[in-house]
Chain A
Amino acid sequence: MEEMFDNLRADKYPLKEYNYIGRRGPRRIDGFQKASGNAVYTMDVQLPGMLHMRFLTSPYPHAAIKNMDTSKAESFPGVRAILRYDDPELPPIADLGGHVPSAEVVLPGIAHFQGEEVGAAVAADTEAVAEEALKLVEVEWEERPFVLDPEEALKPDAPLAHPELLPNGNHYNAGLLDVLELGDISQGFAEADKVIEFRSERRLHTWIGPERPCGVFRWNGDCPEVWVKQQRPHIAKRVISSWFGGVPMNKIKMHCLYQGASFGGWSQTPWNMAGHYCAAVLAKRTGRPVKWTFTRREDFYGGEMDEGVYYYKVGAKNDGTITAVQGRAVLANQIWPVFHFLKHLVENTRIPNIHGQLFVVKTNKGPTVPVRCEQNANAHSLTLIFDHVADAFGLDPIEVALKNDGADGHDMDWLNERKAERGFEVRDSLRECVEKGKAAIGWYNRWHPPGKKRLPNGRMHGLAFTWDHEWDDSAGSSEMAIRIERNDGTATILGMGSDVGVDAENSYCQIAADELGMRLDDVYYNPQADPGFFRMTPDSSTNMSVNGFAIRHAARILKRKILEAAASPRGKTQRGSFPPAFPDAGPEDLDIKDSVIYLKADPSKKMTMAEFVGPSGVAGPLVSHENLGVRSNFSVPLFAFGYHVQTGTYAPQHLRPRFCRQAHFMEVEVDTETGLIEVTRVVNVNDVGKVINRASCEGQQYGGSYMGVGRGRSEEVVYDPVTGIMLNGNLLDYKMATMLDVGPIDTLLVETGMGYGPYGVIGIGEDIATVMPALLGPAVYNALGIWIDDFPITPDKVLKALSKV
């Protein structure tokens, strides 16, 4: 287990042979369930006597409840209970989720954004009855001034968006990363041949999981039984255990069924367990299970953390070497203002002089948290800075990227030294990705000067490139176990996470099968059971790099145990012991392949796992045969667990430089008559270190592309500036990408082994959806020869830009 914490270096313990890892085609364990409609999601749960709970929501962007009369609603037929914000049983604050214990108001009496759940929760026989009853709740509101625009919110005389939290102004960075500084900015500008300046904007976009936020709470005596739609069930359990004066963890029964996606989002806000709290109180009062749901619209409040304005000043030499970057950004509502907007320039460029000033402000919109990305603001900056420089100096953006590749202001030689020092192969990941991508999209013959290529169909043609590093690094930990079943010798993986769709469960099986020497069909994982082991759920770019280690440790320990057991007496009873399965052999003489244990020196001496454990399972714990004069075989339970703690680059000491790069290409056609942008081709090249589950990697690539294109081109949550009301909280008016919205997507994978995870893997889930949106800017620029740095780039912006020319 010495490898356990050694994730600051190259993996020293790869396998010699991979049977399932990396291969195309292993079965997908959730495939049939999901295709056949049998997969059960929390939204599908129905229990005997179950009630339905809905919240009252604020009609104003900022308002306090002065008086509330719920009497009419209470007497509405079908209403079973109403919980009010002033209920004496509600604690003033409680832990309601988020990464670390939070202290939140369970059911507030003051709303800080329109649509916020406030004042009352109604439990009724059906959702429809609950909704009707909510209309009968009479509220006297005290309306308060509000602010929606981040730059407005920063002004000293701006209305206070959240005076209870921030009485002196809307600016709050909590001292974290407000200023990011590297080198000497004035010296950097002095060295430049040219200095450019530009401003960009990113409007609010949001998560939209297909399954609405929901949950079910039932009391079995004093034991809570809870169904959570949660990316991180371990957080739900921690939180529930802190309620009602303390609920012992071992009394909480969790169900984390299939998840209708997640993308971080809602799951991460420190309020996401409030529905459960209210449901718990009402379930107690009514003696019935209570299911709470948000409406589709309620899921729209909130969003991604890059809404705001960005100002950049960049100095570079004529050959594309960037000497200085100065930036200033005002971003809205970040729940944790811990991500800067210029950090990626530090992490993967050699730019020696950087100064970034970040202002995070509160506005009267919902909370923003990382959504299929933790670094949108950074990817946004990196793409725009590099492509603007390439343009200003008349250079190929790929050359500019390669010229500035590095880390912490150091060049590639320095980065290569770090690779060697940590035991990695010295390879140029960006160049490898770039070459593959260039060939795939035909960069050599299709790239052209901006605004210079009109297609036969009358549209303008654009081609663009961007790059970034791969991520694997949020702090995270995991514990997983494997047990060998009696009778048939199959392996069961134990661990609770949530299946959000990345097919992670199959990947764990692949690792376990390869490490144990078992057939993939003999390894199974049902993540929906709660065995008390909590694994990291695929989030924060941290799935395989954390869970991969945990499952691998468990498998390696378990294999050792199996071989030891095969070579030693198979258990003892009062009447004596049983002979070993492989007499005269030591564990080191044995191995397992295709679920068969065999003697290495003479593979004809073999026994299947089923034969090995079979007899010990016949009698179960009764061993009743012994009473009949026949002794049952018995063997030790074959069980092992592994765990892993991840230390990543969020650590202030900046422990691990990034080595793996990714390259992305986009081809567009812009209709100058209608302003419509068609994304006709996307090429993603990702260095994933090592492929574990090929289909899953590719799934993330095309999935990220669709989400990225949607974010870049059409996704925006629009608020009415006069009333502060959200105008498009539904899927007709909020435009996410459909099947016809992106042309062919090439999914290319590079395996340099330079990730810090097991076998050299690195995360793939988030970066594409993060990097893609800003790529639309350079693509449209290449088509039109005009920069539109206001995202999403909607047709009206295209037409407006064109009419200016």
Chain B
Amino acid sequence: MIKLTVNGQPYEVRVEPEWTLYYLIHDRLGLIGSKQFCDRGACGSCTVIMDGRPILSCMALAIECDGANIETVEGIARASHPLIESYARHHAMQCGYCTPGFIVAAKALLDKNPHPTEEQVKEALAGNLCRCGTYPQHSKAVLEAAEKLLGG
């Protein structure tokens, strides 16, 4: 039995030792915004924020997340974070499967560094793979969201 908070909601769940955090969030809690693409820590599409740090939920065991505070794309969207709007506006997506992972990684960056340079955005998102090749649009969307957050 572990306790964790996901997007501000407390949960108490009985987990099997082999469950990944991804499995818990996606299959058990029904938060489908976390996506599984590579299934082995190579693509970033399953990224969530755990206690302020972006982590790969496919590589974390659920059992190790006792007491953790988790933020997923659903929480980011519910808080009307400007990233959501700017991603849609800049077409920073095609099939969209990898998109939530990018947004979570970008949110983690903006939390730490509200005023990133384009280089810093690219660096922060370089661990996320997109087979559709949407890459050039991401920095535009993230920089615009950063500006909005700063009241620009």
> Footprint of B on A, CB under 8 Å?
27-28, 30-41, 43-44, 46, 128, 208-212, 258-263, 295-296, 499-503, 695-696, 699, 702-707, 730-732, 736-740, 742, 744-745
Contacts and interface: CB of A to CB of B under 8 A. Distances in A.
Nearest to A44: B32
B20 to A, nearest CB: 10
Contacts of A209: 95, 131
B102 to A, nearest CB: 9
Chain B interface mostly: loop
Nearest to A43: B36
A37 B88 contact: no
B94 interface: yes
A742 B136 CA distance: 9
A460 B15 CA distance: 55
B133 A31 contact: no
A750 B72 CA distance: 41
Contact of A28 (B36, B42, B91): B91
Nearest to B42: A731
Nearest to B90: A695
B38 A706 contact: no
Contacts of A210: 35, 37, 43, 45, 95, 97-98, 129-132
Contacts of A503: 91, 94
Given A209-B131, A739-B128, A34 B30 contact: no
B84 interface: yes
Nearest to B128: A739
Chain A interface mostly: loop
22 contacts: A31-B87, A36-B33, A37-B31, A38-B74, A38-B77, A44-B32, A128-B18, A210-B98, A211-B97, A260-B37, A260-B97, A261-B131, A296-B38, A500-B94, A501-B93, A503-B94, A699-B137, A702-B134, A705-B133, A731-B37, A732-B42, A738-B135
Nearest to A704: B133
Given A210-B95, A261-B132, A501-B95, A35 B87 contact: yes
A525 to B, nearest CB: 16
B144 interface: no
Contacts of B126: 738-740
A352 to B, nearest CB: 38
A266 B37 CA distance: 16
Given A35-B77, A128-B18, A503-B91, A732 B96 contact: no
A740 B139 CA distance: 12
B133 A38 contact: no
A35 B88 contact: yes
B89 interface: yes
A80 B136 CA distance: 47
Interface of B: 18, 26-27, 30-43, 45, 72-74, 76-77, 83-85, 87-89, 91-100, 103, 122, 125-138
B30 A745 contact: no
B54 to A, nearest CB: 15
A500 B89 CA distance: 18
Given A31-B87, A210-B37, A731-B38, A261 B97 contact: yes
Contacts of A35: 77, 83-85, 87-88, 92-93, 96, 99-100, 103
B132 A731 contact: no
Given A730-B38, A739-B122, A36 B132 contact: no
Contacts of A707: 131, 133
A261 B40 contact: no
Contacts of B131: 208-210, 261, 263, 707, 736
A234 to B, nearest CB: 20
Contact of B34 (A37, A703, A732): A37
Contact of A702 (B32, B84, B133): B133
A37 B33 contact: yes
Nearest to A733: B42
Select the residue from A32, A40, A263 with max chain B CB neighbours within 10 A: A32
A730 B42 contact: yes
B136 A37 contact: no
A487 to B, nearest CB: 28
Nearest to A707: B133
A704 B131 CA distance: 10
A699 B136 CA distance: 9
A794 B31 CA distance: 40
Nearest to B100: A37
Given A44-B26, A703-B133, A731-B37, A34 B93 contact: yes
Given A36-B73, A208-B131, A699 B94 contact: yes
